[in-house]
Amino acid sequence: MLGLTELAVRRGRTLVVTALTREIRPGPVFWVTGPNGAGKSSLMRVLALLDPPAAGAIRYGLDPDERFLYFHSEMTLPASSTVGAWERLTGRLLSARDRPDRTALWPDVEPGRRVGRLSTGERKRLLLDSLLRRRGPLLLDEPYEHLSPDSKSALSAALRDRARTRVVVVATNQIPPATAVEAGIRLEAGAAEPLPAEAGS
Amino acid sequence: MTRRTLALARHSVHTNLRTPFTWTGAALLLAVSLLGPLISLRNHGTWAFDPEMLGTGFAFGALFVIRSGVVEQRTGGLQDFLRVNCISASEHVLAAVLSLAASWLLYTAFAFAVGVVLSGGDVGLAAWTVSLLSLTLGLLLPFALMVECASDLRTPLFVPGFIYFAGLFALAAALGYQRMAELLGLNADRAWPPSSLPLATRAGVSLVVGFALILLVTRARGRRRRQRERRARAAAPVGASRDGTAPR
């Protein structure tokens, strides 16, 4: 469960989200959309507790050993690292309750390949794979950017699956085609409007 | 120290070894150190090892080699990824300390190998020269990590290195060379190895105090986020499912 009460989010001196009250529960993926600069990323950083809210409260309903998992589109691996080294590190950072094997997002590249020689989409898939192997609710900021159609489908399937038991919040201004949006908000000019039931097609 | 800290430190060392900076630094050490014997060969017709040129090469090379890799992790967003999803900020910084220490030790070992080769197998001379250089470098390591944590400079040793040498010249001008050498512990004598103890002590104190300070500051800076997390968890309504599953 993720509860937001009268939440306000600031980006610099501008209030980009005001008086946002929602209770987000597992079930459907919760979408946060809106034009560039609407405050999606700022809101996600506040939900991930990286930045404090300007006002209001956030409530987490989590297992004691669980945490909200967070990803934003600008996250990447150092270019000098290799795919194999990242996979070894991922394996060692997982807990016993996490999923030890690769997800469908893992790119089909040889372990000795330098990260700097991968495409932006492949680099992103390495991080998303690492995140999806972990147990817990998800906060994803623009996870579909730079992904191929197949990878987008694989990600959507993984998110739908995770959303059945954990909260999944996805911020994007490009909801994949033919996605049934069952829950979410559209941010614009500081206001949060509930998303229509069928959007993004 | 956790298994995760060691794993991240190992990954950082692996990544650092593959950066162009590391190869540039190693090449600089080799090239400058080679100048001494080459000049001797040209001027006197004999191959003579020059510890001062090894020291100069060591200093120039260290400027590029010595780094923990946290700058790349921070600027690429990997630091946020790791700290939010995988490890604590303290574990992350401890991994950076280990990675930096590894770059120091590996660089010292490489310089020793270069010294042994260029001196024609004089292990004693190479060990003595490199140990003094390495201890001086150890003195500056915590400051290099502070620069990495506070700026996006990918060659962090430039800042403490410049300050150190500027201070060295200023002290020598103000107090005289002998007094400056005593103050900094640089008046070590190869004929009497315990004379390097003052320099070793200074390096040891700098390493322990400097790294402890960095860890404490990191912990203090992460306190606000930990408080926000505690508040968010504590505020969960009684009816909320603890494991996040949908209520029936």
pLDDT tens track for B81-109: 999 999 999 999 999 999 999 999 999 99
Check residue A35 and give its pLDDT. Answer: 92
Under 8 Å CB-to-CB from A162, ≥6 apart: which residues?
Answer: A132, A137, A138, A168
Check residue B243 and give its pLDDT. Answer: 37
User: Cβ–Cβ of A137/B244 closer than 8 Å?
Assistant: yes
Cα–Cα distance between A192 and B11 in angstroms, integer? 42
CATH number of A2-194: 3.40.50.300
* pLDDT value at B173 more than 80: yes
> Residue B1 — pLDDT band, cuts 50, 70, 90?
low
Nearest to B7 among A58, A82, A93 (CB): A93
Q: Quick count: other Cβ atoms within 10 Å of Cβ B53? A: 19
Instruction: Give me the mean pLDDT over the B187-215 stretch.
Output: 92
User: Cβ–Cβ of B87/A93 closer than 8 Å?
Assistant: yes
Nearest to A26 among B14, B72, B245 (CB): B245
What tokens were used for A25? Answer: 């529960």
Residue type, A131: L
Chain-centroid distance of CA B129 in Å reads: 19
Q: What pLDDT, in 10s, does the model give residues A32-56?
A: 999 998 999 999 999 998 899 999 9
Q: For chain B, what is the mean pLDDT?
A: 91
> Residue A198 — pLDDT band, cuts 50, 70, 90?
very low
Q: Does B221 touch chain A (CB under 8 A)?
A: no
* pLDDT value at B239 more than 60: no
* Rg of chain B taking only CA atoms, in angstroms: 23
Q: Does A127 touch chain B (CB under 8 A)?
A: yes
Q: Which of B8, B10, B11, B99 to probe the A interface (max A CBs under 10 A)?
A: B11
Check residue A178 and give its pLDDT. Answer: 81
Per CB-CB distance under 8 Å, the chain A contacts of B244 are: 1, 26, 61-63, 66, 136-137, 165-167
Q: Does B232 touch chain A (CB under 8 A)?
A: yes
Residue numbers of A between 92 and 121 with CB closer than 8 Å to B: 92-93, 114
Q: For chain A, what is the mean pLDDT?
A: 91
Share of chain B above pLDDT 90, in %: 80
Whether the ipTM is more than 0.85: the answer is yes
> Residue B230 — pLDDT band, cuts 50, 70, 90?
confident
Q: What pLDDT, in 10s, does the model give residues A41-98?
A: 999 999 998 899 999 999 988 887 788 999 999 999 999 999 999 999 999 998 888 8
User: Cβ–Cβ of A74/B77 closer than 8 Å?
Assistant: yes
Check residue B235 and give its pLDDT. Answer: 72
> Residue B174 — pLDDT band, cuts 50, 70, 90?
very high
User: Cβ–Cβ of A78/B87 closer than 8 Å?
Assistant: no
Determine the length of chain A. 201
Share of chain B above pLDDT 70, in %: 94
What SS3 class is residue B237?
coil
Nearest to B7 among A25, A69, A92 (CB): A92
Residue numbers of B between 25 and 64 with CB closer than 8 Å to A: none
> Phi and psi of B142, rounded to 5°?
-60, -35
Residue numbers of A between 138 and 177 with CB closer than 8 Å to B: 164-167
A162 sits in which H/E element: helix A149-163
Check residue B191 and give its pLDDT. Answer: 79
Q: What pLDDT, in 10s, does the model give residues A147-190?
A: 999 999 999 999 999 999 999 999 998 888 888 889 999 998 88
User: Cβ–Cβ of B244/A167 closer than 8 Å?
Assistant: yes
* Rg of chain A taking only CA atoms, in angstroms: 17
Determine the length of chain B. 248
Instruction: Give me the mean pLDDT over the B154-170 stretch.
Output: 95
Residues facing B97 on adjacent strands: none
Question: What pTM, to 2 d.p., does this model score?
Answer: 0.89
State the angle between helix axes of A120-132 and A149-163 in degrees (0 to 180), rounded to the nearest 10. 20
* pLDDT value at B242 more than 50: no
Domain boundaries, chain A: 2-194
> Residue B245 — pLDDT band, cuts 50, 70, 90?
very low
> Residue B236 — pLDDT band, cuts 50, 70, 90?
low
Q: What pLDDT, in 10s, does the model give residues B176-186?
A: 999 999 988 88
* pLDDT value at B202 more than 90: yes
* pLDDT value at A121 more than 70: yes
Q: Which of B3, B6, B78, B85 to probe the A interface (max A CBs under 10 A)?
A: B85
* Among A38, A133, A116, A112, residue whose Cα is nearest residue A77: A116
Alpha-helical segments (H) within chain B: 3-17, 20-44, 51-65, 70-75, 78-85, 89-118, 123-150, 158-175, 177-184, 197-221, 223-234
Instruction: Give me the mean pLDDT over the A141-148 stretch.
Output: 94
Check residue A62 and give its pLDDT. Answer: 83
Domain boundaries, chain B: 3-234
Q: What would the DSSP string read from start to end of A88-138?
A: HHHHHHS-TTS--S--TTS----TT-BGGGS-HHHHHHHHHHHHHTS-S-E
Q: Quick count: other Cβ atoms within 10 Å of Cβ B212? A: 12
Measure Cα distances from B173 to A95, B73, B176, B180, B183 in Å. 58, 41, 6, 9, 13
User: Cβ–Cβ of A61/B242 closer than 8 Å?
Assistant: yes
Taking the CA of residue B231 and the nearest CA in chain A, the distance in Å comes to 8
Beta carbon pairs, A and B, within 8 Å: 137
Q: Does B247 touch chain A (CB under 8 A)?
A: yes
